[in-house]
Structures are given as C-alpha cells and as structure tokens.
Structure 1
C-alpha cells in the first residue's frame, strides 16, 4: 500500500519531485521515546514550558513550529546538550537522564543539526569514525575503517562515494550522507534531523526521502524538523506541533491533518493567503535595472533581463543552475566576463561592489548568517552597516543617531524583540532577514537582490516577509528574487526567468506558468 503522492493534481511540486512514501505500520503501543512535560529555562527565559513527544520505532515523526517555538531546545535536550529543568524522558519505557551527547549516542539517539558537524579537511572514513576510531595498539585500522565505511555508504545507497574522498569536496547532500553514516556507525535507533532539506535541490530531497525510508524500514525512527509543510505529506507519519515552548498537538496524522490546521496550531491564527496580492506595474514604469548579455565564464552566459520600478522578477531553477551567481555578478561580488549592468542611466563597473552599492543595489545573500550579518554585533549596527557615513562625525560613529534610525526600522519591520542593542545572533531567521531588508531601506537602495529570502524561516514569518517584499516593490523599488521553492517565485514575482545550466530558458509573466511547467522546462533544459 502506498501513501498518495503530494505531486498529484493541484499539488505543489516546488521542493520535491513526486516522491511516494510507502505507508509504515507504526506500533504506537510500544513507544521508543516518550517526553512528558519537559521544561527548560535560560537566564530566567523559559524556552520549554511543558513539552510532550511520543516516538514509535520505524516512524518518521515531524516536529513543526515557528522559530522560537522551542524545537532547537527540545532536540538539544534529547541530544544531551541541555539538561531539562523538569519533566521526564523515557527510553523504551525506562526513565533516563541524558547528561551528555555521548550518553545520547550510548542510548541510541543521534542528531543531525542544520549546520552539519562534518570536518572538511578529513576523509569520509575519518569523519564517520571521528571520536570512536577503530584502533589497535595505538594505531588506526585504516583498512577496516574504509571497509566499514563502504558498507555504511552502500546501506545508504551511496556506494559511489569513496571512503578516502575529502569531505570538503562533497556537495551538501553528500555531506548529509556522511553525517548519517556516522550515526549508523553506532547502534542507533533514533535519528533527529534538523532542517535536512534546507540546502538541497529537488532531486537531492527526493533521494534524502528514499534514504529516510530505508532507515525506517529497518525499524529506525526519524524525528524530522522542517519549515516546508509540503514535505510532511510525503515523508511523515505523524506530527507534533510546538508553539511558544508548549506542545499544541501530539501525534497528528501527517496524511489527514489539513495544512490550515497545522498553521493555526503553529501560529495561533489563520494564515489564509500567504502571498499578498500583486499591484499591477504601470505600463510607463521606468526601467531601474538593465542587465544585458551578462556572462561569467564556466557558470552562466547571455543573461539579459530588465526590472522596472515596482516590479518583482523571480529566478526559478535548480540548485547549481547559476541563479545565485547571476545575482552576485549583478552586485559586483563576481567580475563578469561579458555584458553590462545599468541602474537607471549609470553603467556599473564590473566586479565592483562599491560601485553597485553607490548606484543603489543591495544584496541579501543566500547565507545570511555568514555573508550578510555581523552576528555578534547589535541590531542597530547591522541595520546601519551600509550607511555608516551617515552616522559618522569627525571620524567617530554617532551611535545615538544610528540607534534612533534603527529603532524606526525596528518598528516599521516589526522586529522582535524590539531591542536595538540585542546581538543579531540571538534573533530568529525571519527577524534576521528583516534586518537585511531594513539595512538597504536605510541606505536608500533602488534595486533589491534577494537570494533565498525565506530559507530557515517559519510559515508565520514567511507571510510577513512576503508582504514586506511586496510593499518595497510598491514603493517603487526594483526587486529580484531567487528561491529554490518554485511556489515562492511564482507567488511573489510579476515576471519569472526560468534558469538551467547557466542559461535563461524562458521569460514570461508568472500567471502564464505553474510549478509543473517550470520543472518541465528546467529538466528538459538541463538534459539538453
């Protein structure tokens, strides 16, 4: 018996390409892991206020919740990173304590964090046995490690990978396989996966799901944490929902629980129409950004498009198609080998971020934490970072003026918590994205380049960011959006550029194509 595919009529296939998960018969009477009324506080702030969870062997149990709901604290508690203040954890019916990550592994619990903990400079085999090396007489048994690594990779359907390959040379998807193999090198009964599909393309997500199925068919349970609600229909058996550190639902059926109900349980409100209505772009709207015959050797070529004032242009395609590199080249972070970029009447110097920013271009990068924000600096510094000249007098920064400007943006963007001196690192993904939008608004940007603007952002915050993007366009800005989620591109953009293998295959209004049409073009274009 097969679970109905989420790629059927009327479905959204932007993140996953028609994976059909076999139904797993779950024995809910013999729980593997039970969490009862677990609480946890940090410096007086209650992160968990009474969380319940019930995991059965061989199931995929999805844990949903907005940023700040307590998901990370919960999984770190199960992983032995945090010790709960109250409540009870039972493993196979017995009350247990998990004081350290080593204790979690000994029980049979492994955790794959969103930021994968692999070491790029080591080989696959060295990563898999890191911390529990196979050794005899003080010497590492390299041949035995390689043999066991091959067996683990074969078990995960990746026998093509060499145990001796350096992990730094692998794709994000293959690094995940290494992390899974490391878990399976122990006697693991439960794997916790935190946003495992966040950096994967369509085919990689499909492969991930097949690997998860193979694990559950062996009786291994998987706790799957995701912001992509469409994924749970294909991968999940049951769902637990968290909100504000509390459990609002435990063990819901992934197949039978309507999406609006899940959103209500996560947010406490109805989010009916997540994409705001489009405001028609006037026919006489001025062209703000003009890209002509842009090329970057070995990456993309002959890229041409325009963006008018008030218009949102979206780039749709698979990871590796050249979408992000196009944005980075327009921004001057990469030096084009051919073509031109103009903002209004000004032609930009190739490979000059300074020239692009002066002309009014702002970039929100795909990796906002490492490339867009100074995480340990306060919010007000991050918001005013691109406009420091405005807040400098006599060689000294006018922090008072910068704070005042930042506070205005904090209110306008409804940043939470509304504390200009709070470190950017402590904010949720949605609020970090708002900081970047606020930064370029303060700078007076005319062109906004947004690369994966909602990656790692929960459903409630996504609706807010979509509204902000549309409001910025309505104010006369030109906006270019790149997203791995085709639904997002179609929901936000007025015009869609379909990209594959560094080429623009088609340019057309977003209301003249659907997700299946985009995927069809992309797959044909990639095969050409």
Structure 2
C-alpha cells in the first residue's frame, strides 16, 4: 500500500505529560484506516498533528511522499486534509450555510454571494446524505445529531483528499450512522484516504480496511481489519484482559419498595405525552428508542429546565414542581448532559473548580467557602474516579474526553444526589473508561440511588439497566425487562412495530 499520508517517529509533550512518543502512522488512498485506543492514548493529538492544529516536537509528516509541516490548520486544508473533530466547531448563532462556507464563502463584487453560498451548502448537505437539513436554518435550532451531519458537510465542501473523522458518529441516530457509512464507502471508492476514530467496535468491523492501535502515545500494532478478535484488540488497547463488559445485575428491588422518583401523566409542548414511570432506590431504569423521541425533554423536565410541564412529579412520594436546576439539586437530582463540553463543563476553568462548582453551598459555612474542605472533596473525587490530570489546577479542556466526562460526573457526585439522570454518559469514551463508569453507576445504585439512563447503545441498555422504557414520538410504547430485554425487542419497539418480541 502506497501511503498518501505518513507520520514518522512523531513526539509531542505538554509539560511533563507525554501525548505522543515516537509514534508512526500511514494511510493509503481508497482505504478506511481505523485508529483505536483509550482516551488519552494519543489518537486526538496524532490527528491534530495531521490537521495542523498541533506542532510536533519531533518527527516528520509526509504528504504523498513530500515532507510537510503545517503551521496552521488552513495550510492543512489547502493541502487537501479535512478533519472532523469529536467536539463540533460550528457557530450556533449562524445558519447552516454560513457555517459550511465560513472559511471561504463565495463572493460577488467583494460581498458574500448568498445565493451561491446556499447552492454550495445544499450540494455539501446532499453529499453528506443530509438533504433534509435546510441551509438557512440556524445551527442552534438543530439537535446534536443534525449538527454532526452539518459538520461532516462542512468538511466535504472543502473537497478533501484525506478525511479524518474523530468519533463522527457518536451523536448520530442509527439511521444517520448508516447514511454516513454509505457516504464513507462511496468516498473510499472514489480514492479518498479516510482516517476513522471510533470506540464502537461494531463500526470498526463494518467499515474499516486497516486498524492501528495506540496506547500511551505509541503505536502498538497495525493490522488488516478482521484479522484480530475483539478481545485481542481490547487487550492491545488497554494492556490488560477484559473479562466482562458490564458489572453483574443484582436482584431488582421489589415492586413494594416505594419509588424515589415517579412521574404521572407528564407532558410538555407536544413533545412529551403522558409519561408514567417510577424509579426505586437501587434501580437503573433505561430510556430506549431512537434519538429525539422525547428522552432529552424528559430529563430537562425533571431537572426544572422546561416551562409549562404538565402532570405530576413525585420525589419520595411527595408531589413537587421543580422550579429550576437549583431546586432540582436541592431535591437531590443531578443531570449529566449529553454534550459535556457545552452543557457540562467550563472548559477554561480548572479541573478543581469544575469539580467543586455544583457543591459550593455544601462546602461553605455562612456563605464563606471552606478551602480545606473543598480541596479534600476534590482530591477525594479525583482518586475515586481515577481522573487522569497532571494537576487539578490545569484547565479541564486539556483533558481527554473520558476524563472530562469523569469530571462532569464527579461534579454532581459531590452534591450527594439520590436521583441520577444520565444522558448518554459514555458517548465518545474508550472501552476502559466505559467499564469504570458502568461499575460506578451500579455502585451508586447499590448505595440507594435511583438512576435514569438514556443511551444510544443498545448493548449498554441491555447490560446496565434493570428495566428499559422505550420511547416513540414522546410516549413510552413498551417496557422491557428480564429475558424480554433483547436488542431485537429494543429495535422493534423503537420503530413502534407490533411484533416487538
């Protein structure tokens, strides 16, 4: 295979932290090359070097056999390299067309040609399989899955020779994932070199031609897809054998145990209709169904974000009207949102400050923050969740995705919640960190918490949850538990098919 893009002996350090150490990588034309590894293994730094975002301390980058050094991302774009990062780069207050053409809008008489820009955006959206997205729609009005498709269209509008995707399907619905897969196969057939990062092993098996595994900033192995078992790949990724993906499920609480959280006839703005559910202490209840069927709105309603919510919410058997997030927190409710960078963290602030932010009232006396108590609480949470940070004073934005998610979870654990609302908490996180989060959630339930868990991963719903409520068009259409909780039943119920068994 002749390499279109090659990195040789590349190293990058941030202070005392080694992000890459003499790492090498090569991808060929007409091939989809998967990059595998835990968060913090060096994958994101490697693709940032390819995209001109990060300058390596050592090593060489060769593009079609010629050594290059990109001082700026625009130089990489001009050379034919387009990168779609896990965290979106869209400007929410601008339209879809504005975002797609933002770096090089078509001009006429020195001004942006709006008609030409719309045509460019429509062509890019069509190429990305997202013709249903209106080019003049504000990005802020789109759900996360639609924004991800706009990000892909934005990259394709640059007509790249090399396309790099970092967890580009992590926020997509199952139907959109298949659209993107068809697109990538078409681009591969056109001779494009594609670098693909994903923690979903099924995607790798379905899509990749070649795989490279990274660990601790170094490439461990490169091999053709399908020549190693999942167990072998996982062992390469984390350096140890994985016996079980999910912790064992205990006996579920008896139906006579009073629910901590209960909703009766919950409805909102035509998006939620008559939601009845109860979550008992020690129970993990899953929310299934296709993305955008009301699961997010249910979380926001329970957390007091939405106005005009109809029906009853009961905490410990007492009817409450959740007036806002502060009131929800006082009731013992915590929400881990779907988009950690936008809704869960203050990226320029330190790991320490992000962790203590939601619990400042618990760490204060007479309105004065107790610094010693805060430091002890933060240090304890860093140890408990094994958060990998060189220094808690470092900006949380410098951490890997998995460690950022741990900070979001740890922030709420410091409030001692009794009701946990988890919105796709392992999206874009490596296998090892996923296992840590699964074990943590089960441990919190064992301590008496009531957990509501939404996930786009069917295996996660089956492996983590005691019961699953499947949503369709804002309604619960079926409850699944025990032997009935299967992938086939989840998929059929999500499509509202009658024969869901």
TM-score by length of 2: 0.92
Q: 1:376, 1:457 → 2: CA distance?
A: 21
C-alpha deviations, 1:220-247, integer Å up to 9, x for none? 1111111212111112111111111100
Question: Where does 1:100-249 land on structure 2 (aligned, <5 Å)?
Answer: 100-135=72-107, 137-159=109-131, 163-249=135-221
Match of 2:325 among 345, 348, 353: 353
Q: 2:238, 2:327 → 1: CA distance?
A: 42
User: Is structure 2 residue 316 aligned with structure 1 residue 344?
Assistant: yes
Q: Describe the SS at the equivalent of 1:507.
A: strand
Question: Where does 1:284-299 land on structure 2 (aligned, <5 Å)?
Answer: 285-299=257-271
208-217 or 457-466, larger mean C-alpha shift: 208-217
User: Is structure 2 residue 33 aligned with structure 1 residue 78?
Assistant: no
Question: 1:473 — aligned with what?
Answer: 445
The alpha-carbon distance between structure 1 residues 110 and 377, as it changes in their structure 2 partners (threshold 3 A), is closer
Question: 1:3 — aligned with what?
Answer: none
Which stretches in structure 2 are left out of the alignment for 5+ residues? Answer: none
Structure 1 contact 112–180 (Cα < 8 Å) conserved:
yes
User: Is structure 2 residue 246 aligned with structure 1 residue 275?
Assistant: yes
User: Is structure 2 residue 225 aligned with structure 1 residue 259?
Assistant: no
Question: 2:334 — aligned with what?
Answer: 362
1:403 CA displacement = 0.9
C-alpha deviations, 1:64-93, integer Å up to 9, x for none? 111111111111111111222222222112
Q: 1:153, 1:441 → 2: CA distance?
A: 41
Question: 1:6 — aligned with what?
Answer: none
Q: Describe the SS at the equivalent of 2:3.
A: coil
1:180 CA displacement = 3.9
Over aligned residues, Cα RMSD in angstroms? 2.6
Question: 2:427 — aligned with what?
Answer: 455
C-alpha deviations, 1:6-43, integer Å up to 9, x for none? xxxxxxxxxxxxxxxxxxxxxx1x22111111111223
Q: 2:198, 2:60 → 1: CA distance?
A: 25
Structure 2 contact 253–280 (Cα < 8 Å) conserved:
no
Match of 2:343 among 351, 371, 376: 371
Question: 1:13 — aligned with what?
Answer: none
C-alpha deviations, 1:144-177, integer Å up to 9, x for none? 4444544444444455555555544445455444
1:395 CA displacement = 2.8
Q: 2:368, 2:359 → 1: CA distance?
A: 14
The alpha-carbon distance between structure 1 residues 394 and 86, as it changes in their structure 2 partners (threshold 3 A), is same
Q: Which runs of 4+ in 1 moved over 6 A?
A: none
1:388 CA displacement = 2.2
Question: Where does 1:85-104 land on structure 2 (aligned, <5 Å)?
Answer: 85-104=57-76
Q: Describe the SS at the equivalent of 1:448.
A: strand
Match of 2:417 among 413, 435, 445: 445
The alpha-carbon distance between structure 1 residues 336 and 430, as it changes in their structure 2 partners (threshold 3 A), is farther
Q: Describe the SS at the equivalent of 2:273.
A: strand
Question: 2:282 — aligned with what?
Answer: 310
Question: Where does 1:54-69 land on structure 2 (aligned, <5 Å)?
Answer: 54-69=26-41
State the aligned residue count: 499
1:394 CA displacement = 3.8
Match of 1:401 among 373, 394, 411: 373
The alpha-carbon distance between structure 1 residues 113 and 292, as it changes in their structure 2 partners (threshold 3 A), is same
The alpha-carbon distance between structure 1 residues 129 and 442, as it changes in their structure 2 partners (threshold 3 A), is closer
Question: 1:23 — aligned with what?
Answer: none
Q: 1:435, 1:289 → 2: CA distance?
A: 25
Question: 1:17 — aligned with what?
Answer: none
TM-score by length of 1: 0.87
Match of 2:485 among 513, 520, 524: 513
